[in-house]
Amino acid sequence: MTKRIVVTGGAGYIGSHVCVELLSRGAALLVIDNLANSHPEAINRISELAPGDIRLIERDLANPAHKDDIVSAVREFHPDGAIHLAGLKAVGESVAEPAMYYRINLGATLTLVEALEAANARSLVFSSSATVYGDENANPVSETGRTAPANPYGRTKLFIEEMLKDIARADSRWRTVNLRYFNPVGAHPSGRIGEDPNGIPNNLFPFIAQVAVCKRKTLSVFGDDYPTRDGTGVRDYIHVCDLARGHAAALDYLDKQTTGCALDVNLGTGTGYSVLEAIAAFKRASNRDIPFSIAPRREGDVAEIYADADRAKKLFDWRADKSLEAMCADHWRWQSQNPDGYKS
Ligand code: WQD
């Protein structure tokens, strides 16, 4: 039976890879994206990689003036469920503009919930983040770990998780999964879709990739005095294609649930790599030099965090299987073939 899935933020970095994965499994997609942090060319590339039934409506879930259009488009689509990726995600910006982050991230989610209710499709996979854990837990971090987000962006993710749990508790027809991403990196092996950040990248991998392709001169390594094996920050990098598979597995899991549920599930590899290890791996993959200098620690960074990934294996029979080398090789292929992202 063809699954019919609403994908909010489907033109974005994670979203485009999720769309390719779902289309390759025969799903029909309705993408809702305001294209504020994505490009319509991504939808063309998705269809090139996975021809199928995909429709984009350029609407903003956080704009009340768009709500009626969104609700009617979702109802007419007759979805089986939704994957909710649309939202603001820059940690630093969230500290400067907290009200905007709460209004947009929580407001968008409530509009989607209303549209799914109207369409009688109460199955939702939410794009959450390991940032909800903060710096409070021993590694590997499991879903039962203490949640203590250190910034407004992380708090929007946690509050949305709690909203979805309250909705599922109030109405057992709701089945939801909060996927707590660790650090998504890499790109589809074709090099045709990938991460295309606006302006100066906040995150490590896109910055390294832009140095490798000579768009940026040098990388600042934020601190080398952390209590880690080489003093630099350690993170659980996960290939974006493994992450996309995890979303399909979560939808399949929800399909099988006969009563309401609201689950938190980590999507990580269970292995942490330091900044210096990531730089060395990217140099090997790209055969390019990556000049860097040591800079002061970045406000809000944790020293080390990596996932306990057992619950996803147990519930979804899903595990990340791509190596750091594959993450770097695929990220490099995307960046070198698209030096200016989709604009090129
Ligand atoms: C990784 C490591 C930095 C940039 C954030 C969000 C999280 C998710 C992923 C959205 C750290 C170091 C980085 C640079 C550096 N985003 N670094 N120089 O901070 O773990 O997670 O992005 O969902 O929610 O919190 O990822 O890639 O920014 O940093 O040295 O120019 O690289 O200090 O140790 P982070 P990151």
In a domain, 329, yes or no: no
Q: How far is the CA of 175 from the centre of ligand 1 (A)?
A: 31
**Cα dihedral 267/270/275/277 (nearest 10):** -130
Q: Which domain holds residue 56?
A: 4-187+237-269+306-321
Number of domains in the chain: 1
Q: Is the pLDDT of residue 1 over 80?
A: no
- The predicted-structure confidence for 237-290, as pLDDT tens digits, reads as follows 999 999 999 999 999 999 999 889 999 999 999 999 999 999 999 999 999 999
Q: Is the CB of 183 under 6 A from ligand 1?
A: yes
In a domain, 116, yes or no: yes
Q: Is the pLDDT of residue 2 over 80?
A: no
Q: How far is the CA of 222 from the centre of ligand 1 (A)?
A: 10
- The predicted-structure confidence for 150-188, as pLDDT tens digits, reads as follows 999 999 999 999 999 999 999 999 999 999 999 999 999
First to last CA, the chain: 38
In a domain, 212, yes or no: no
Per-residue confidence (pLDDT) for residue 162, from 0 to 100: 98
Which helix (H) or strand (E) is 150 found in, with range? none
Here the CATH number for the domain that contains residue 255 is 3.40.50.720
Q: Is 153 a residue of the active site?
A: yes
**From the alpha carbon of 222, which atom of ligand 1 is closest?**
30
In a domain, 207, yes or no: no
The rounded distance, in Å, linking the Cα atoms of 254 and 82 is 11
In a domain, 199, yes or no: no
**What's the burial of 248, exposed, middle or buried (CB within 10 Å: 0-12/13-18/19+)?**
buried
Distance of CA 42 to the CA centre of its chain: 16
Q: How far is the CA of 220 from the centre of ligand 1 (A)?
A: 12
Q: Is the pLDDT of residue 311 over 90?
A: yes
In a domain, 333, yes or no: no
**From the alpha carbon of 232, which atom of ligand 1 is closest?**
34
- The predicted-structure confidence for 103-147, as pLDDT tens digits, reads as follows 999 999 999 999 999 999 999 999 999 999 988 899 999 999 999
- The predicted-structure confidence for 7-57, as pLDDT tens digits, reads as follows 999 999 999 999 999 999 999 999 999 999 999 999 999 999 999 999 999
In a domain, 120, yes or no: yes
The rounded distance, in Å, linking the Cα atoms of 16 and 50 is 11
